[in-house]
């Protein structure tokens, strides 16, 4: 009996202490919410600012068109105060039969898109949209896209034989402060990613994969943009792995594995007599494997503008056709050289050329100036055949360079 009374008293004390502690916690929380209503609002809304496309009608069965569900989920994501997240969940295959325009400006200050599942694009005969970009993101600042675990498949093989306009998969227009990571895109009908009018964007761990003979399937096209960084990415495609055109500056490509593809190119510039200006481009620690070109600058006839302050450095070549190429007669048209090319450095190239012409500097009659070749060692991949350098109207210096460019002055 005595033991029972002691145990009862002990339990009563513990219960009392627990209830008092519970009351104290509730009181503190209420005081905190009363003193700081903003905290209260954030507490209850933190978990509600995530919008899953499934909740807006997406089926994710690979057969139903989920375009409208994506648009509905985006509308809610964009119009939310504070921070918001759009989720394309895993274990789903989301079919797009029409273009989706994710348009800003948004009320949300920071938006994240989590691509965890797979997006597929309808084949050409089932496509109901227009021929512009399939996913077009416009005027959205502070956007972060995390593609971990996800994939966008453009199913481009149904388009590649078509003599028609073909859509790109993903376009960014006027998006500042953009961060895109771990994004995988395959088999685009046209270019995989286009960047236009953006400032301050970082793309990292991007994986692009299309066959080397797929027509005009550029990996990443950059136009009229500034402060763009592309790093630690693998790009295999049927055209330029990266192309930089228009009014673009301060572009950095680092740690890019390109191949197959047409290299990392400046241009083409001067198309339709456009005044193209590209400057402050730095391509560093990149590799070109079985590519049609390596480091390339290409300009068309008579277009005004310039390409200047461009550096390709620490480049690894494996059976690369035209490892170093300046072509001011692009598309075979001899040019009077409206686009000025100057201040171009090729430094630290090592590897093999699949063509006898390892270095080609084909400048217009007006000439290219301040061209630097330094620490370049390119050998022919063909046994017993020497690699060669061909220069025309190119002015600059060559140090520690093989093959020798005796006509560079």
Give the pTM: 0.88
* DSSP per position, 356-394: SEEEEEE--TT-EEEEEEEEEEEEESSTT---EEEEESE
Tokens of 367: 């000439």
Q: CA 269, CA 278: separation in Å to the nearest integer?
A: 9
Asked if 262 is an active-site residue, the reply is yes
Q: Which residues pair with 195 in a beta bridge?
A: 172, 222
Is residue 222 scored above 50 in pLDDT? yes
Tell how far CA 381 is from the center of its chain: 31
| 3-state SS, residue 35 | helix
Q: CA 235, CA 264: separation in Å to the nearest integer?
A: 10
Are residues 147 and 118 in contact, defined by beta-carbon separation less than 8 angstroms? no
Specify the pLDDT at position 5: 43
Is residue 208 scored above 70 in pLDDT? yes
Tell how far CA 202 is from the center of its chain: 8
* DSSP per position, 117-133: SEEEE--GGG--S-SS-
pLDDT digits (tens, 9 = 90+) for 346-398: 999 999 999 889 999 999 888 999 999 999 999 999 888 889 999 999 999 99
C-alpha count within 13 angstroms, C-beta hemisphere, residue 224: 8
In the block, tokens 């461009």 appear at 310
Is residue 3 scored above 80 in pLDDT? no
Q: CA 249, CA 226: separation in Å to the nearest integer?
A: 5
Confidence of residue 165 (pLDDT cuts 50, 70, 90): very high
Q: CA 218, CA 237: separation in Å to the nearest integer?
A: 6
Q: CA 382, CA 180: separation in Å to the nearest integer?
A: 40
pLDDT digits (tens, 9 = 90+) for 225-258: 999 999 999 999 999 999 999 899 999 999 999 9
Are residues 162 and 128 in contact, defined by beta-carbon separation less than 8 angstroms? no
Active-site residue identified among 8, 190, 192, 262: 262
| 3-state SS, residue 263 | coil
Q: What are the distances in angstroms from CA 16 to CA 3, 161, 164, 312? A: 20, 79, 79, 74
Specify the pLDDT at position 336: 54
Q: CA 264, CA 270: separation in Å to the nearest integer?
A: 18
Instruction: Write down the H helix ranges in 36-133.
Output: 37-45, 67-78
Is residue 32 scored above 50 in pLDDT? no
H/E stretch holding 11: helix 2-35
Centre a 10 Å sphere on the Cβ of residue 202 and count the other Cβ atoms it contains: 16
């Amino acid at each position: 009996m005595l033991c029972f009374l002691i145990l009862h008293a002990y339990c009563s004390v513990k219960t009392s202490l627990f209830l008092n502690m519970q009351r104290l916690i509730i009181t503190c929380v209420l005081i905190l919410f009363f003193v700081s209503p903003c905290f209260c609002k954030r507490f209850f809304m933190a978990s509600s600012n995530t919008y899953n496309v499934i909740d807006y009608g997406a089926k994710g069965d690979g057969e139903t068109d989920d375009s409208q569900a994506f648009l509905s989920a985006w509308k809610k994501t964009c119009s939310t105060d504070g921070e918001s997240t759009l989720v394309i969940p895993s274990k789903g295959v989301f079919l797009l039969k029409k273009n989706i325009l994710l348009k800003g400006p948004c009320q949300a200050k920071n938006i994240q898109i989590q691509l965890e599942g797979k997006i597929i694009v309808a084949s050409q005969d089932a496509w109901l949209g227009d021929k512009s970009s399939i996913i077009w993101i416009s005027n959205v600042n502070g956007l972060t896209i995390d593609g971990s675990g996800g994939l966008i498949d453009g199913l481009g093989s149904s388009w590649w034989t078509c003599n028609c306009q073909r859509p790109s998969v993903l376009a960014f227009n006027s998006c500042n402060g953009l961060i895109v990571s771990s994004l995988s895109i395959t088999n685009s009908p046209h270019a995989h990613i286009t960047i236009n009018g953006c400032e301050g964007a970082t793309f990292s761990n991007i994986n692009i994969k299309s066959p080397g003979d797929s027509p005009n399937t550029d990996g990443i096209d950059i136009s009229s943009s500034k402060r763009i960084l592309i790093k630690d990415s693998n790009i295999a495609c049927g055209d330029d792995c990266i192309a930089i055109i228009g009014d673009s500056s301060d572009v950095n490509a680092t740690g890019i594995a390109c191949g197959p593809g047409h290299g990392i190119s400046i241009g083409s510039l001067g198309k339709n007599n456009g005044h193209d200006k590209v400057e402050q481009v730095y391509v560093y620690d990149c590799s070109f494997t079985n590519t049609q070109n390596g480091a390339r600058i290409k300009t068309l006839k008579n277009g005004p503008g310039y390409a200047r302050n461009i550096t390709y450095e620490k480049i690894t070549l494996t059976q690369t056709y035209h490892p170093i190429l300046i072509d001011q007669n692009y598309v075979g048209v001899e040019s009077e050289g409206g686009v000025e090319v100057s201040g171009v450095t090729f430094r630290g190239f090592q590897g093999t050329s699949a063509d006898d012409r390892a270095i080609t500097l084909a400048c217009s009659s007006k000439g290219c100036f301040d061209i630097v070749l330094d620490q370049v060692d390119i050998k022919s991949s063909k046994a017993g055949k020497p690699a060669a350098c061909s220069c025309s109207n190119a002015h600059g210096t060559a140090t520690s360079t093989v093959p020798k460019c005796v006509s560079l002055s």
